[in-house]
Structure 1
Amino acid sequence: MPSPTTAPSTLEHGELFIGGQWLPAAAGGRRDVVDPSTGNAVGTVAEGDAGDIDAAVAAARAAFDQGPWRGMSGRERARILHRVADLIRENADELVRLESLDVGKPVTLCRVVDVATAAEVYEYYSGLAQAVDGATRETPMNAVAYTRREPLGVVGAITPFNFPLILSSSKIAPALAAGNVVVHKPADDTPLSALFMAKLLSEAGVPDGVVNVVTGAGAVAGEALLRHPGVDKIAFTGSTAIGRHAAAVAGEALTPVTMELGGNAAQIVFEDADVEKAVGSAIKAFVFNTGQFCMGGPRLLVARPLYDTLLGILAQAVPGVPVGDPRDPETVVGPMAAERHVAKVESYVAQAVADGGRIVCGGERLALNGGFYFKPTVIADLANDSRVVQEEIFGPVLTVQPFDTEDEAIAMANSTPYGLASGIQTTNLARAHRVAARLDAGIVWVNDWAMLDPAVPFGGVKASGFGREYGPEGLAPYTRDKSVVISLD
């Protein structure tokens, strides 16, 4: 097996996975897979289109209607999902290699976050697979009434480029736990771990047709999956703009959807905060995954007495964060996933300067091996209505703004269209509870950032979407309730 530092010239499986078979795209198309750390193509995968989506949905429908998965006991499905978790851990080196090669993630991050989390997600939902049950209901009728929780059928899972392994697991694992079947369309640029996971799922005992993977362009294969009449649910993670379109398309057919969309979270540092913890948390919140994190913290709101102090510490600390080759175990910040993402960040930094912002550090590309690198950047002195503050940059950029009162801080935190995550830095427990209750966000972290676990749900409000992933709340959208009432007359 190649080591994580080896970039292969060919890929083991570059075909579509449909009905338990590796198949070329029906039209014969291929697309390059590019290593973001060099900008070079490292292989190709099949370029699926609407015809391939048709085939995948047909295979999934046959597996749901005629195959064994739906009729298995929860305990039987649990054993298989637990085996998936075991296989992820056994194949950790290969998954680290593929995810780093595909996305540009540092190998250390891939191992301790992406691969570890994916295994934990399958393990967690293997437990919940045994608890998909209903309840009896007492009524005044002369009848026995009870509810059943049943699978929906064919789930179309559409996932983004930034966390391919984690965000596919967060959809496929609960869908399978509930007895559904899946057609997965991974992001255009980052298909590798999805294809490898199809192999592992099959090895674990998931029957043919239960999980299908079609790689290809979102505008073609993704659109076909959204519009397919044979799909019973859409589970989508991506940008708010595309999410609005996906929800509108699903609404035409009344297809149930869950949407985990963009974010622009604020972290509020109150005057009683532990400054060392606050700085560490602030840096982690905006450089984690090179800022390509919908629950990242690109806005730092600081009590005015601490404002200059924190800016001074950030100016010294941020340039010291190790940026470089993602295959180097010491690297903390790797490249962005594609050239277009770097160009977008560059345009926002130029806008910040035009708006009167002060570049505290960073603010430019980093030339390294032809890769897609941008220096971690801190920007001060922007007005709250600046586009750079209000919009989702999705890169390693932190804006820092002062506030004078608790009410002002909450108003600033809630002022963007988004509501996915938020954060508080304070040593005052009463304030932590009080402010958390007033923040428009699906998850609020106190005195740290990105504390995530498969048992704790996350998801958005406002333009950050609806529905939840993780926890029992993440299983519920993959089931429907049926009532059964039996007359005793």
Structure 2
Amino acid sequence: MNLKQQQYINGKWVDALSGNTREIINPFNQEVIAAVPEGDEADTKAAIAAARKAFDNGEWSETPATERGAIVRKIAELIERDKEELARLESLDTGKTVEESRGDMDDIAGVFRYYAELADKNGGELIDSPVPNSISRVVHEPVGVCGQITPWNYPLLQASWKLAPALATGNTLIMKPSEITPLTTIKVFELMEEAGVPAGVANLVLGAGSTVGAELSSNVDVDLISFTGGIVTGKKIMQAASANVKKLALELGGKNPNIIFADADFETAVDQALNGVFFHAGQICSAGTRLIVEESIHDEFVSALVERVKKFKLGSGFDEDTQMGPLISAEHRAKVEEYVETGIKEGATLAVGGSRPEDPELQNGFFYLPTIFTDCTTDMSIVQDEAFGPVITVEKFREEEEAVKLANDSVYGLAGGVWTNDIPKAERCVKKMRMGTVWINDFNLYFPHAPWGGFKQSGIGRELGKLGIEEYTETKHIFQNLKPEPVNWF
């Protein structure tokens, strides 16, 4: 592996000031695959100082937008060039299949390319002025120094959603990837350096959220925090950010309903219900883990799901036959196991799964069998809480209004789906569903030019699309009087 395995601060690859390191573990077999610096508050302050200086001197923010766009586009080209190495690192780091990781790299390059094209298309507008002989214009300027905190499940994909728009709009940044899956983020910082991002503009600090993330959130020299992760941490970041009322962009997960009507295409709905949950072992914020199935097809639908699930091939992400890899860590598997135990205690019926696999070849990895609960109701914590694992809960409904009510019965509002061949019915449901993204006859599809984010406690703001670039800009009104005269009021 040709990674520098260091932090990147002010244009230099450096170890942690403390000298501490952290071992990175392959979740498939617990093999140590790398040792990286374990940064803390001191490293974070150094990175913030570098980003602050780089922003205040204007070298990047005053670079013509077309030139910034060209550098962001070059990053996309380098990601495409090194796609296989990046996909391999992502699968080593997270345990997901390498085929899925290859798809991620295509998406990531697409994100950088999309924002490269938008870089010079955010020049502002002239607006009508009520004052004669005057000009009134609105411009969009970079926010400033951005703290970016990414999760472990899709390390580089989530990083791209933050890096690309921040760079395109002229900001400087400090990124903190998850301490357990930093490898592809390190690699992409190498590529950004190669593409010509100036020193101090993009900084990488490796370490725990309790130290690095906390410093980014509370430091008054940071103007924006973009965080993807859990609700508990998101609330802490909101509190810390009040130190200087910094701008926030938060994506805090979901417990996403997938409504299946009896008139849907049955086989397609079954297949997509499985696809909507079990990629990356269910470790997806938008996973459709709440199936809400019309009563008349409920039993048949569950039986079809169970039969398919029993045939899943678990294994190494580098085995072309593998359909589902391991969970990310022993600690996370223990949380999923506790969640399943809770479901049993609450009275849900375990239809399939609910344990670790017995296959001897899987014993060194953090594997958990795909699991389905039936007889679920919205007063159960397993229906309300995000397991972030390969677990589906199934609820029944009879009427359209009941389905929508069940779907909305959550503190989350990230995403949802509706399966029906009755399009007017689908549109009625979508209009009432309180979620940032709702799919009709599909699930978990996203692309760079469509916004992503949630209602309610799923977060604040949007990533991707034109709204994603707005998160990294401030709006300024400039009024110019072309013929100033005395007012003679006093």
TM-score range, shorter chain: over 0.9
The match for 2:285 is 294
- Please give the residue correspondences for 1:234-383 in structure 2 after superposition, counting only pairs within 5 Å: 234-367=225-358, 368-383=362-377
SS for the counterpart of 1:42 is: strand
Alignment match of 2:378 (pick from 381, 384, 396):
384
Alignment match of 2:85 (pick from 64, 89, 94):
94
What per-residue deviation string (whole Å, max 9, x for no partner) do you get for residues 29-54 of structure 1? Answer: 10110111012222210000111011
| 1:138 maps onto 2:128 in alignment | yes
Amino acid at match of 2:316: D
Matched length: 479
- Equivalent-residue separation in structure 2 for 1:120 and 1:27 (angstroms): 37
SS for the counterpart of 2:179 is: coil
What per-residue deviation string (whole Å, max 9, x for no partner) do you get for residues 27-83 of structure 1? Answer: 111011011101222221000011101111111122212252111111111111111
Structure 2: gaps of 5 or more residues: 484-490
Q: Is the 8 A contact 1:37 1:369 kept in 2?
A: no
Amino acid at match of 2:127: R
What per-residue deviation string (whole Å, max 9, x for no partner) do you get for residues 363-413 of structure 1? Answer: 111251411111111111122211111111110000111111111111111
The match for 2:434 is 440
| 1:84 maps onto 2:78 in alignment | no
Q: Is the 8 A contact 2:214 2:240 kept in 1?
A: no
What per-residue deviation string (whole Å, max 9, x for no partner) do you get for residues 407-439 of structure 1? Answer: 111111111110000000000110111100100
The match for 2:406 is 412
Q: Is the 8 A contact 1:87 1:200 kept in 2?
A: yes
Amino acid at match of 1:190: T
The match for 2:422 is 428
The match for 1:24 is 15
The match for 1:454 is 448
- Equivalent-residue separation in structure 2 for 1:369 and 1:98 (angstroms): 22
Q: Normalising to structure 2: TM-score of the pair?
A: 0.96
- Equivalent-residue separation in structure 1 for 2:197 and 2:320 (angstroms): 34
SS for the counterpart of 2:93 is: helix
SS for the counterpart of 1:373 is: coil
| 1:398 maps onto 2:392 in alignment | yes
SS for the counterpart of 1:378 is: strand
- Equivalent-residue separation in structure 2 for 1:67 and 1:16 (angstroms): 24
| 1:109 maps onto 2:100 in alignment | yes
Amino acid at match of 1:409: A
Q: Normalising to structure 1: TM-score of the pair?
A: 0.96
| 1:124 maps onto 2:114 in alignment | yes
- Equivalent-residue separation in structure 1 for 2:455 and 2:116 (angstroms): 28
- Equivalent-residue separation in structure 1 for 2:30 and 2:188 (angstroms): 25
- Equivalent-residue separation in structure 2 for 1:383 and 1:221 (angstroms): 39
- Equivalent-residue separation in structure 2 for 1:15 and 1:140 (angstroms): 56
Structure 1: gaps of 5 or more residues: 1-7
- Equivalent-residue separation in structure 1 for 2:308 and 2:344 (angstroms): 22
Amino acid at match of 2:116: S
Q: What percentage of residue pairs aligned between the two structures are identical?
A: 39
- Equivalent-residue separation in structure 2 for 1:58 and 1:245 (angstroms): 23
| 1:485 maps onto 2:479 in alignment | yes
